[in-house]
Amino acid sequence: MAIISFGCDHAGFELKQHLIAYVEAAGHTVVDHGTHSTDSVDYPEFCSAAGRSVRDGEADVGIVLGGSGQGEQLAANKVRGVRAALCNCLYTARMAREHNNANVLSIGARVVGVGLAEEIVDVFLGTDFEGGRHARRVDQLTALEEEF
């Protein structure tokens, strides 16, 4: 079972609450970085905190949620060592893990329904990094991160 770090803005709050219960029911442990209501907030603090938990080894993977998931993905990706992927379908969730070794999943709560969000989480958590030629590319991304 995994330790999953969550972060969201107000638009992602309700889906976050649902997904926390969903992954806990599956036996995973959750670290919740907020937000903790539907009151309007700025997402960078919450989503970068979820990414820092992954970077620092406090969590195995992260999940960030917002209206579209775009800004939340960007905020998480500002954390060195995070490879956050916006996945609003099963294919991108699988490819993000298999080919990019993504360690943070971003979902748009105004784009994806609850049932599909559960499936995306299952695919993301259940897919391993393929390695091989993809490891070379992930290493190149890491080198770019170090350079800039």
Whole-angstrom distance, CA of residue 55 vs CA of residue 23 = 20
**Rg for the chain, CA atoms, rounded:** 14
Residue of 24, 99, 119, 146 marked active site: 99
10 catalytically annotated: no
Q: Which domain holds residue 128?
A: 3-147
For residue 106, what is the enclosing H or E element? strand 104-108
CATH of the domain at 98: 3.40.1400.10
Q: HSE (CB half, 13 Å, CA atoms) of 80?
A: 7
99 catalytically annotated: yes
Strand duo 3-8 + 61-66: pairing:
parallel
Residue where the block lists tokens 């905020």: 75
Domain count, the chain: 1
Percentage of the chain modeled with pLDDT above 70: 100
pLDDT 10s digit of each residue in the chain, 148 long?
999 999 999 999 999 999 999 999 999 999 999 999 999 999 999 999 999 999 999 999 999 999 999 999 999 999 999 999 999 999 999 999 999 999 999 999 999 999 999 999 999 999 999 999 999 999 999 999 988 8
